[in-house]
Amino acid sequence: MEEAIFWTLIILFFVYGMIPWICTAVLGFGVFRKSPSCHEVAFTFDDGPDPRFTPKLLDLLKKYNVRATFFVLGSKAEKNPELIRRMNQEGHLIGLHNYVHRTNWLMTPWTIRRELDRSASIIEQITGVRSIYYRPPWGLLNLFDFLLRKEFRIVLWSLMVGDWRSKGGSDKIKRRLMHKIKGGSIILLHDSGETWGANPDAPLHTIKALEDVFLDLSHRGYTCVRIDQIPPLGKQKLASEVSWKKKVMVSIWLKWERVFNWLFHIHPIDKNHPFLNVRIRTYWGKTVQLSDGEKIQRGDRVLELHFNNEVLYNMGIHSRSSIQLAIQMIRTTEQLLPKTLPIILNHPNYEKIKALYGVSMIYRGTKQFGFIVNDLPRGPFSFFTKIYLRLLMSVVHPQGKDRLQNKVEHLVPKMMVMSTKELMRRYPIENL
C-alpha cells in the first residue's frame, strides 16, 4: 500500500509540476520568452524591491535612459512603496513575482491566485495601475497556472547569466551578457540577494557589470525596452515550425515513458510487436462486478494493460484517417490479447491474478474482446488521470489538439476490466 501511495504521489507531481515545466520552460507554450525583434532587448529584474540595491539600479537605468521591467514580490513592495512609486514615475514596468518567493509547485492553485491578487492590489494602491505581467519564482508553473492566462501575461526569459551568485564578480556577468545578448533577448537579472540560494551582495556585481553592458549595447545599435513595448509573437506559425515543436514534445514525452516503464516494470506482451505493454499489480479501486459473476476487489492481483504510445504515434502519422487508425488498433489488439494468457499462467501465483485491467480514453470497441467498460469513480485519481490522458492525447495523437478542441466531451477516461476466467474461455490454451 505504501508503495502504491508513493508512486501515485510521483505521478501526481509529474502531472502537476513537470509537464507544465516541459511545456513552458522547454517548449515555450503559453508563455512569453523571446521577442522576434532584431534591434530591441528587454532587461528584467526579479526579487525586489530592495532598499539597498534597487535605488542604485534605478540611478544607473536613469543615467543610460534604459526602461526595464521589475517583477516584484508583493511583501517587499508593501514595505517599500517609495521604490515602487519611483519605478513607476521613471517609466519602468512593474510586474508580479508572487507575494513571497515560494515555488508554485508547493502551493495550491487558490493560494497562488490569492497571492497574485494581493500583490496586484498592493501595486495598484501605490501606482494606480494594476499589473497584468507575471513571472513565477524560478519560472516554475503548475498545471493550474495556465488558467491565469485569462488575466495575466506569463513572462519567462531567453537569457540567464547566474547573477544571483557572487563568484566571478562583475566580470563574469559582463562577459556572459556581452557574449549572449542578441536581438529579441529577454534578460533575467536580480536586484535583491535575499532569495534562497543567492549571495546577499550579488546585486552589487550585477549593477557594476551593467554600466559597461549598456554602453556596449548602445554602440551595437540595440534599444532597451520594457516587456510591454515588445511586439508579441504572432499566433500564425509555419507548418514546419509546428511540426518541429510537435516532434520535440513527442520525443520528450516518449523519453519520460521509457523511464516510467522502467520504474513500474512494464514490459511488452510481444517484443516483436510492442503495441501492448503489461505489468502485474495490486488493484486498489472499488469493487467491480463482472458479467461472468467474478468480482474484482481491493487487494486482488490484476494484469494491467498499457498502450505503447510510441507505436501508437507511428501508427497515427502513417494512417490516412482516424478510421484507418482505429481498424489498425483493433486488429493489433486482437492478435496480441491472447498472448496475455501465457504471461498469467507462467506467473508463480497465476491463480491469484483475477483480471485484465486498464484505464484509457481509447475504449470504444473493447467490449467485443470481452471487457466491461465502467466510469472511474470520482475523486483525485479520476481527476488527475483525465488531465494526464488529455495531455497525452494532445502530444501523441496526430490530431490531438483538434480532438481536444472539438471532441473534449468524449475524452473521458474509462476503466476496462475482463476476468481471467473470461480470457481463458475466449482463448482456450490449446488454441494458442
Residues that are catalytic: 46, 190
Q: Are strands 414-419 and 353-360 parallel, antiparallel or unpaired?
A: antiparallel
Burial code (b: 16+ CB inside 10 Å, e: under 16) for 403-413 equals beeeeeeebeb
Residue 406 host element (H or E): helix 400-406
CB 250 within 8 A of CB 307: no
Helices (H), 156-293: 169-180, 202-219, 239-263
Could you give the CA distance from residue 123 to residue 100 in angstroms, rounded to a whole number?
14
The contacts of residue 383 (CB under 8 Å, 6+ apart) are none
**Ramachandran category for residue 139: left, alpha or beta (phi over 0 → left; psi -120 to 50 → alpha):** left
Cis? peptide before 49, omega within 30° of 0: yes
Could you give the CA distance from residue 239 to residue 220 in angstroms, rounded to a whole number?
34
Q: Which grid cell is 342?
A: 501465457
Burial code (b: 16+ CB inside 10 Å, e: under 16) for 109-119 equals eeebbebbeeb
CB 44 within 8 A of CB 33: no
Could you give the CA distance from residue 294 to residue 11 in angstroms, rounded to a whole number?
30
CA 144 from centroid of its chain's CA atoms: 10
Residue 332 host element (H or E): helix 322-336
Could you give the CA distance from residue 19 to residue 391 in angstroms, rounded to a whole number?
9
